[in-house]
Amino acid sequence: MMTQNSIYILVLLTLSYLVGEMGHFLLGATSRDIAREVGYGDKACFAMENGTILSCRQRKDETSCQIKGEDGGEDCKWDYTGLGMDYQVLAGPAFIAVFTVSGVIFGITADYMNRLRLLGCAVLVYSLAISSMGFATQYWQLVLLRMLLAAGESACSPICVSLISDLFSEKSRGVATGVLHLGVYVGFGLSQAAGIYLTRADLFGWGWRSVYILTGLPGIVISFLLVFLPDPRMADPSRTVQPTVRKTSFMEMAKVETKYLQIPLKSEDDNNNPSPRETFTENMKSLRTCLFSPFMLMMFLGASCRHSAGFTWAYNCRLFFLSYYPDNDVGAYFTFSAIVGGASAVIVGG
């Protein structure tokens, strides 16, 4: 049964996810503007007011790009594209390497700490990282802040899903999880709208910087709201949805899950009074068995394929159109397709 408290917490979790995903994907919409100010990545020849796109694109080096036109004016300029290896490092390894490791750490830590307080601290970290990117002046600063963003945002999925399992009954968890993941698609959609149109609006004369600063501010407010909420499992037990199956050494497993994950159930006589160290050791053994089961390995493979395709599209679609169809305004299409398509899928799936 859903209560006002559980709905309130779900709203905060969804908004937290939304802010994190906006900051995550803003890079793809603003990379060219950042590159031209900070200075990173590849360069190419771009048409100015007097030049033509085709003519300038055929000039492959800085010398030929700077050749003046017949009227003596400059037709083209040599400038950053927003692409290249430096951009790919920012979009990929700087984020994903940290996200992968820290996500597991947060998942384990959440079993022993106040989850809402832990999530609030994580939200504060990535919100500050997002806003701080608006003040970056060097490439290494962007890399460091992307890593902090990844470290903080990695807490969202394991902690939020864990909280939903406690706050909502089995019949409501699918819908609640779908609402939570609205933050992913709405966040991506808004990142395209904000990154393209607010940068173009040049708010406060700060261009792309204002977008990052403003994006992180709501997350700072949300983080303080989360920190002061009690963890459902530490509050009144009657307000927490109780598990319908017996808890194993690491996670609650139904009989069907036990069959596929091949984790043997322990009897009550196996260990009546385990010490914290023994409990932790058993948890790690169960986690290892779970992670290397055929079922989970197939899940990992499917998730890897899905995210590889999704990230490739998300990080390169805007820059692709800037490179080959610069006169087409595609920001509204990206925003609409992500929010409407993604939101519809997660709600129906939930």
For residue 90, is pLDDT > 50? yes
- How does the average pLDDT of the chain come out, rounded? 84
> Distance between CA 120 and CA 231 in Å, rounded?
12
> Distance between CA 216 and CA 212 in Å, rounded?
6
> Distance between CA 227 and CA 307 in Å, rounded?
30
Residue 226: pLDDT band with limits 50, 70, 90: very high
Query: Which range is most confident: 57-66, 158-167, 322-331?
Result: 158-167
Query: Which range is most confident: 45-59, 112-126, 285-299, 329-343?
Result: 112-126
pLDDT over 70 percentage in the chain: 83
Query: Mean pLDDT across the stretch 8-28?
Result: 95
> Distance between CA 219 and CA 137 in Å, rounded?
23
What tens digit of pLDDT does each residue of 245-254 get?
444 444 444 4
> Distance between CA 75 and CA 86 in Å, rounded?
28
What tens digit of pLDDT does each residue of 265-311 get?
454 444 555 556 667 677 777 778 887 888 888 988 988 888 788 88
pLDDT of res. 262: 47
pLDDT of res. 276: 60
pLDDT of res. 251: 44
For residue 76, is pLDDT > 60? yes
Per the model's pLDDT, the better-predicted residue between 264 and 10 turns out to be 10
DSSP codes of every residue in 228-265:
TSPPTTTS-GGGSPPPSS-B-SSSB--HHHHHHHT-PP
For residue 144, is pLDDT > 90? yes
H or E element, residue 79: strand 76-80
> Distance between CA 101 and CA 109 in Å, rounded?
13
Mean pLDDT is lowest, of 202-211, 228-237, 266-275, for 266-275
